[in-house]
Amino acid sequence: MKKLLSIILVLMLALTLLTSCGNNEGQQPVSEGKEASGEGIFPAIAKEDIKVGVIHIGNPADGSGYSYAHDQGIVAMQKALGLSDSQIIRKNNVNDTDPTATEAAMLECIEEGANIIFGTSWGYMDTMEALAQEYPDVLFSHGSGYKSNDRNFNNYFGRIYQARYLTGIAAGLKTKTNKLGYVAAMGKDNSEVTGGLNAFAMGAYSVNPDAKVYVKVTNSWYSPEEETNAAKALIAEGCDVIAQHCDTPNPQLEAEKAGVFGIGYNSDMSKDAPKATITSAVWNWGAYYTWAVENVINGTWKSENYYGGMKEGMVDISPINEGIAAEGTAEKIEEARQSMMDGTFNVFDGVIETNDGSTVGEEGKTLDDATITGGINWYFKTVVEK
């Protein structure tokens, strides 16, 4: 036994010594020579030769929700640029809390010749950052999250909070109990979720100051069961409009089952719950995907972060379900939308009261993008944590 142990130990030692000589090959940042920092770090690629990889957390075939919305964007990009099906490499159901699966999916895209890889879920971030160093000639574009480098790794997202503000108006007008429910994927310290939730609450407050927003956190972007349970709990609490920041339409389905109403997210969820969903905050990812891939083809790619809003066509709300929306919803929403389009209103304007009594922001100013994407860790005054 002792002999065996010592053999193993010696082997281990020899091995680690051996390997530590050729240490950290993959870890070194390769982009020492930042030759061209201006236009086009990468040469143009013929349209027929470009390959695009997409990593989905869910399955676009679900026909609704987050991955579906992203994939619709990919399809729109493919059409706009005239790419063939074989130029798109999709990896579906890649769990973003599993770094090994994430890496395997991305390496497969690289192996199949992808020039650019879109990672659509938050948890892919660290793996993308590492792979961007290891493969300096492949472009990595990460949706949500906050990391990037100055060569081949950027970040894209949109001002979905603008759309959420508008949906908040619809919810605030609709509620009878003055209790709005909100199924949130992440807790207070996640700026993306919390900012959107606040915008929703502010929208509701603008038309109905008595409406409170009850929050339930699932701690996962994609968790069909938890999302259902959260919606159930909120309905039991007395909420009669259920909004959501999560990947499946399950909260809408629960709302419909319980005979209450809902506000969808990602894609038009009145498809899923026609009797419940008043409107949905929707993404038009195609706006970014087309722009990004076009830049790669033209050789004009720069590693800059993209943050499009209502004006760029990146976010919007789906058509209002007139059969169930409260009277006057469309007019109120149109009014707010116009002020967003012409820039007179930016949602997080001026001094904002939080639910712990403190205030955020300054009179005459609006929160900057860095704060919106990374620094909103407070709830608006009408928000109730459950």
Partner 1 sequence: MNKKGHVPFIRIVKISERSGKDTLKIRIAAFISALAAGGLFILFLGYNPIELYGTIISGAFRSKMAFQATIRFMIPLLMSSLGVAMAFKMRFWNIGAEGQIIVGAVCASYFALFHDTWPHFLLLLVMFAAGALGGGLWGLIPAYFKSKYDTNETLFTLMLNYIALHIITYLRDGPWKDPGSSGFPKIARFAPNAQLDKILGVHFGWIIALILVFIVFIYLRYTKHGYEISVVGESKSTAKYAGMDVRKIILRTMAISGGICGITGMIQAAGSDMTLASSVAGGVGFTAIIVSWLAYLNPFGILLVSFLFSVLEKGSSVMQSAYGLSTYFASVLQGIILFFILGCEFFIRYKFVVSRKGGR
CB closer to partner 1 out of 86 and 344: 86
CB closer to partner 1 out of 221 and 301: 221
Query: Rounded to whole angstroms, how far apart are CA atoms 55 and 106?
Result: 7
The pair of three-digit structure tokens given for residue 352, joined into one six-digit string: 């904002």
Per rule CB under 8 A, is residue 314 in the interface with partner 1? Answer: no
What minimum distance in Å lies between the beta carbon of 374 and partner 1? 7
Residues 204-243 within binding reach of partner 1 (CB under 8 A): 219-220
Among candidate residues 185, 177, 210, 241, the one with its CA nearest the CA of residue 382:
210
Tell me if 192 sits within 8 A of 265, measured CB to CB: no
Per rule CB under 8 A, is residue 99 in the interface with partner 1? Answer: yes
Residues 117-136 within binding reach of partner 1 (CB under 8 A): 122-123, 126, 130
- Block residue for tokens 């039991």: 236
Per rule CB under 8 A, is residue 24 in the interface with partner 1? Answer: yes
Tell me if 269 sits within 8 A of 247, measured CB to CB: no
What minimum distance in Å lies between the beta carbon of 172 and partner 1? 26
What minimum distance in Å lies between the beta carbon of 92 and partner 1? 6
The pair of three-digit structure tokens given for residue 368, joined into one six-digit string: 């900057």
Tell me if 69 sits within 8 A of 285, measured CB to CB: yes
What minimum distance in Å lies between the beta carbon of 8 and partner 1? 7
Query: Rounded to whole angstroms, how far apart are CA atoms 21 and 41?
Result: 33
CB closer to partner 1 out of 261 and 289: 289
Per rule CB under 8 A, is residue 75 in the interface with partner 1? Answer: no
Residues 167-186 within binding reach of partner 1 (CB under 8 A): 186
Query: How would DSSP label each residue in 201-261?
Result: HHHHHHH-TT-EEEEEE-S-SS-HHHHHHHHHHHHHHT-SEEEEESSSSHHHHHHHHHT-E
Binding mask 245-274 for partner 1 (x = CB under 8 A): ------------------------------
| Residue 34, Cβ density class (10 Å: 0-12 exposed, 13-18 middle, ≥19 buried) | exposed
Task: By CB under 8 A, name the binding residues for partner 1.
Answer: 1, 4, 7-8, 11-13, 15-17, 19-20, 22-27, 59, 61, 89-93, 95, 97-101, 103-105, 107-108, 110-111, 122-123, 126, 130, 146, 186-193, 219-220, 374
